[in-house]
């Protein structure tokens, strides 16, 4: 970690490169433009609306986070990205159907100026999608070099001082770590040989990290969470974060489950089902892509409840997750949860939650915050896994010797304490004995 004097100022333009200009990406881009024009509020964004308490409660110091740490200003962000479809961001946002046309029309010119670069795409990894705007190359190493050329050209064309890349593309088929992921040398050899264990997302992550660019994975793909990528991130001083943005149902789980555990209420079963009809829903209709998402969504409860420590309460928990593709719903996802509880003396209770949410509306501020915080981390000299950003992800990256922290409130405390530490402020423990001793 660094001292405040070592954090480089956020001068110049910040290029935010998004891989996949679909619903989440275009909602993020449109939102930033709308906020810049003063026609909307950045609701859901910790970097824009959140505050941070400094010192004792009696001191009354609670500045906004964006005034406390040197974050890039929204006015200095330049967006770009790749997609398998050729339409500009205005047309893509219209297709996604998340934001109202009347709202999009007020920022139409800005959105139309953002046209996607041809994407690295292989349908074997995302079986329900196909599009014409795709790169061709002799092998995956060639494709990675093309992405690097895109990155450099974008930076020069737009006069960017710094860059951040966020994977906002689709969920790829389920993959496990193999020998090709074990080291940078084996991975680069795999690129030359177009190894099947290297999906499109890894090509982007490799390109970003080789250029020393912070990288965030907003999907549950394996992507940067392999030894080869972490070796490269350490070599180039690149911060990384992921995986899979914590939006609808999992957000609710990481709010509710810590409360149930705190009161030592038993949980016998937790049944979760979702219906959604956007591109993400179509992709997840493929069993292999759903497997990737399922693993991401199911892990949170295991780590929050810690059944090995509380076997009487959680050892036999039946946890079921379902996702159903239902086109009429579009981006307006609905999540149903049925939780079977056990209380005092073994008496049963039930908790039922029906969350009618907007997937991309919940995801957009996470994309923005991840980009701004990763840029801050880079300027602060922080590289590799940024566990303090676990607050935003369903399956947070973590050191191999520790378990991931999924409790939303512990994650938020960790995030804010990291910011305090970066600025030389006292960490908040919430002990508070000094008020009573």
Q: What is the pLDDT of residues 187-196, one digit of tens each?
A: 999 999 999 9
Q: What is the signed CA dihedral for 409, 412, 417, 422, rounded to 10 degrees?
A: 170
Spacing of C-alpha 159 from chain mean position: 26
How many CB atoms neighbour CB 315 within 10 A?
A: 11
Closest to 169 measured CA to CA, from 332, 321, 292: 292
Averaged pLDDT, 34-52? 97
Of the candidate ranges 45-59, 82-96, 254-268, 284-298, the one whose mean pLDDT is the lowest: 284-298
Identify the pLDDT of residue 15. Answer: 98
- Mean pLDDT, to the nearest integer, of 427-432? 90
Average pLDDT over residues 155-159: 98
289: pLDDT strictly greater than 80? no
Give the pTM. 0.94
Q: Tell me, what's the pLDDT at 99?
A: 96
Tell me the average pLDDT across 44-51. Answer: 98
Query: Is the CB of residue 215 less than 8 Å from the CB of residue 165?
Result: yes
Indicate if the pLDDT at residue 112 is higher than 60.
yes
Contacts of 383 (CB under 8 A, 6+ apart): 233, 234, 236, 237, 238, 239, 377
List phi, psi (to 5°) of 30. -60, -40
Q: Which tokens go with 236?
A: 């180039």
Residue 26: in which H helix or E strand, if any? Answer: helix 23-36
> What number of residues does the chain have?
437
What is the percent of the chain where pLDDT is above 90? Answer: 84
Is 115 a residue whose pLDDT tops 70? yes
Least confident window among 2-11, 195-204, 217-226, 345-354: 2-11
pLDDT of residue 122: 95
**Buried residues in 271-295 as b, exposed as e (16+ CB within 10 A):** ebebbbbbbbbbbbbbebbbbbbbb
Q: In 3D, which of 355, 326, 171, 329 has the Cα closest to residue 251?
A: 355
pLDDT at residue 432, rounded to an integer: 86
* Structure confidence at residue 1 (pLDDT): 45
Average pLDDT of the chain is 94
SS3 53: coil
pLDDT value, residue 2: 47
Q: How confident is the model at residue 420 (pLDDT cuts 50, 70, 90)?
A: very high
Tens digit of each residue's pLDDT (9 = 90 or more) over 334-349: 899 999 999 999 999 9
Task: Report DSSP state, residue 437.
Answer: -
288-316: average pLDDT? 83
Q: Rounded to an integer, what distance in angstroms lies between the CA atom of residue 361 and that of residue 250?
A: 15
User: Helix-strand-coil percent breakdown of the chain, rounded to 5?
Assistant: 45, 20, 40
pLDDT at 121 over 90: yes
Residue 293 has pLDDT above 70, yes or no: no
Tokens of 302: 């295991």
How far, in Å, are 61, 317, 372, 416, 430 from residue 434 at the CA level?
Answer: 17, 41, 35, 21, 11
pLDDT grade for 388, boundaries at 50, 70 and 90: very high
pLDDT band at 127 (very low <50, low <70, confident <90, very high): confident
């Amino acid at each position: 970690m660094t001292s405040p004097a070592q954090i480089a100022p956020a001068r110049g333009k910040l290029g935010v490169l998004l891989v996949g200009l679909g619903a989440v990406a275009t909602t993020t881009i449109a939102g930033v433009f709308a906020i810049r024009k003063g026609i909307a509020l950045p609701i859901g964004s910790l970097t824009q609306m959140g505050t941070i308490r400094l010192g004792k409660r009696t001191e009354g110091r609670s500045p906004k986070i964006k005034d406390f740490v040197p974050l890039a200003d929204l006015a200095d962000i330049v967006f770009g990205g790749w997609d398998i479809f050729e339409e500009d961001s205005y047309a893509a946002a219209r297709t996604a159907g998340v934001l109202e046309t009347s709202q999009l029309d007020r920022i139409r010119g800005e959105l139309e100026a953002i046209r996607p670069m041809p994407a690295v795409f292989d349908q074997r990894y995302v079986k329900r999608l196909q599009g014409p705007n795709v790169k061709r190359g002799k092998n995956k190493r060639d494709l990675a070099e093309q992405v690097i050329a895109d990155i450099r050209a974008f930076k020069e064309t737009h006069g960017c001082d710094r860059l951040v890349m966020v994977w906002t593309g689709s969920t790829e088929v389920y993959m496990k770590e193999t020998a090709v992921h074990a080291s940078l040398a084996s991975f680069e050899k795999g690129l030359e040989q177009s190894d099947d264990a290297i999906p499109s997302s890894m090509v982007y992550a490799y390109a970003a990290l080789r250029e020393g660019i912070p990288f965030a994975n907003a999907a549950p793909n394996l992507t940067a969470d392999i030894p080869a990528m972490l070796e490269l991130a350490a070599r180039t001083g690149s911060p990384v974060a992921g995986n899979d943005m914590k939006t609808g149902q999992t957000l609710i789980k990481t709010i509710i489950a810590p409360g149930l555990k705190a009161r030592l209420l038993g949980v016998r079963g937790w049944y979760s089902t979702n219906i959604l009809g956007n591109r993400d829903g179509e992709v997840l209709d493929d069993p292999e892509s759903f497997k990737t998402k399922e693993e991401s969504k199911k892990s949170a409860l295991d780590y929050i409840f810690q059944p090995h420590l509380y076997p009487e309460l959680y050892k036999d928990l039946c946890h079921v997750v379902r996702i159903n593709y239902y086109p009429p719903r579009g981006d307006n996802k609905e999540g149903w949860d049925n939780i079977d509880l056990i209380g005092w003396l073994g008496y049963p209770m039930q908790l039922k939650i029906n969350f009618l949410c907007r997937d991309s509306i919940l995801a957009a501020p996470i994309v923005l915050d991840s980009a701004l915080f990763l840029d801050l981390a880079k300027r602060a000299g922080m590289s590799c896994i940024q566990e303090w950003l676990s607050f935003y992800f369903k399956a947070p990256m973590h050191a191999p010797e520790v378990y991931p922290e999924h409790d939303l409130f512990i994650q938020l405390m960790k995030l804010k304490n990291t910011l305090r530490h970066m600025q030389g402020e006292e960490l908040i423990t919430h002990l508070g004995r000094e008020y009573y001793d």
